[in-house]
Structure 1
Amino acid sequence: MRAGHITGWDGLDEGECEVADSVRVASGGVLVDPQAVHAIASRLRTSATTLGDNAKLVRANTFGPAQAGTRYAEQGQRIHDGLVRIESWLLQWQEASGALAEAVGQTVVVLGETDAEAARKVANT
């Protein structure tokens, strides 16, 4: 890895992402690009919204014993139960993705505050 570069997901595409010196934060040899972290948080928020939208679609397209017919009521109930589980999983993933997006977004704020404080200390020495 070259100095000033990070590799991996930059929030948009796989590959290498150049890190501008003005936005780079160095700590113990770890380089963090706040813009890339912000992009990741944004993508996570989008994912959370998509998961929620799909949970609504699952809920709107219910299927159960009545749709399966009298002779297949048991199978219809199992399909219904499976759809309820899928909706629940989607909602749980939505909640987890939203919480992760919030945490990652807060990281950008903390990094910015830490970097600004370090700059003030350097300027005052």
Structure 2
Amino acid sequence: MGSVTVDPAVLQQIGANLKSSAAIIGNKVTDARRQDFGAAQAGRSYSAEGTKVHDGLARFATWLQNWQGAVDKTGAQITTSATTYATVDDANVRKITAVGVQLA
């Protein structure tokens, strides 16, 4: 039978990296929402196209915000899971050694 090794410290670092990435993406959401290009900037003959560009930028900002939220929640869940793994493993070791089994 195979085995799996879980390194909580590595998982916590992965979670922290994801949360850091989410913060960077969040900054890009702010940048995307600052884009004011629209009908007026496109010019009189291209107002319809300018409106389409404006709407596309708004959809992009929303998509980016959703992505940021997903990355942040994934990082948080990985960090929480790593802590849970460590806590459960520590408790199991205490229970096993309490009955006299030597783990080595």
Question: Which of residues 39, 55, 65 is equivalent to 1:91?
Answer: 65
Percent identity, aligned pairs only? 33
Structure with greater contact order relative to length (CA < 8 Å, sep ≥ 6): 2
- Residues 9-88 of structure 1 correspond to what in structure 2 (within 5 A)? 29-88=3-62
Displacement after TM superposition at 1:35 (Å): 1.2
- TM-score, reference length from structure 2: 0.89
Higher Rg: 2
Structure 1 ranges of 4+ moved more than 4 A: none
Taking structure 1 as the reference length, the TM-score comes to 0.75
Q: Offset at 1:109? A: 1.2
Extract unaligned runs of 5+ from structure 1. Answer: 1-27
Post-superposition shift, 1:112?
1.2
Instruction: Please give the root-mean-square deviation of Cα atoms over the aligned residues, in Å.
Output: 1.0
Tell me how many residue pairs correspond in the alignment.
98
* Whole-angstrom distance in 2 between the partners of 1:85 and 1:91: 10
C-alpha separation between the residues in 2 aligned to 1:48 and 1:94? Answer: 5
1:86 Cα offset (Å): 0.7
Runs of at least 5 residues in structure 2 that lack an aligned partner in the other structure:
100-104
CA offset at residue 56 of structure 1?
A: 0.4
Whose strand fraction is larger, Structure 1's or Structure 2's? 1
